[in-house]
Amino acid sequence: MQVQVNGEHMELPGGATIATLIEHLTLAGKRVAVEVNEDIVPRSQHPSFTLSDGDRVEVVHAIGGG
């Protein structure tokens, strides 16, 4: 299936969860927040939240800013 992650198209196996995606992005254990189709998915739900074809995912972190 195809999902959009941070504006980029990405091919993922069917049934992939957010935890799978984070692992795939080598971000496991990093402090990130995830939104799917503009709704927050709490960290506790990352292993159980299954992505669907066409989902728009945002993975964000904290950077320098005023």
CA–CA separation, 46 vs 7, rounded Å? 20
Q: Does 7 bind other proteins (CB under 8 A)?
A: yes
Q: Binding segment for other proteins among 12-20, 23-31, 48-56 (CB under 8 A)?
A: 23-31
Q: Is 22 exposed, middle or buried (0-12, 13-18, 19+ CB in 10 A)?
A: buried
Shortest distance in whole angstroms from residue 52 CB to other proteins: 20
User: Residue from 2, 40, 48, 54 that binds other proteins (CB under 8 A)?
Assistant: 40
**Would the CA dihedral through 12, 13, 15, 17 be positive or negative?**
negative
Residues at the site binding other proteins, with contacts judged by CB under 8 A: 5-8, 25-27, 30-35, 38, 40, 42-43, 58-66
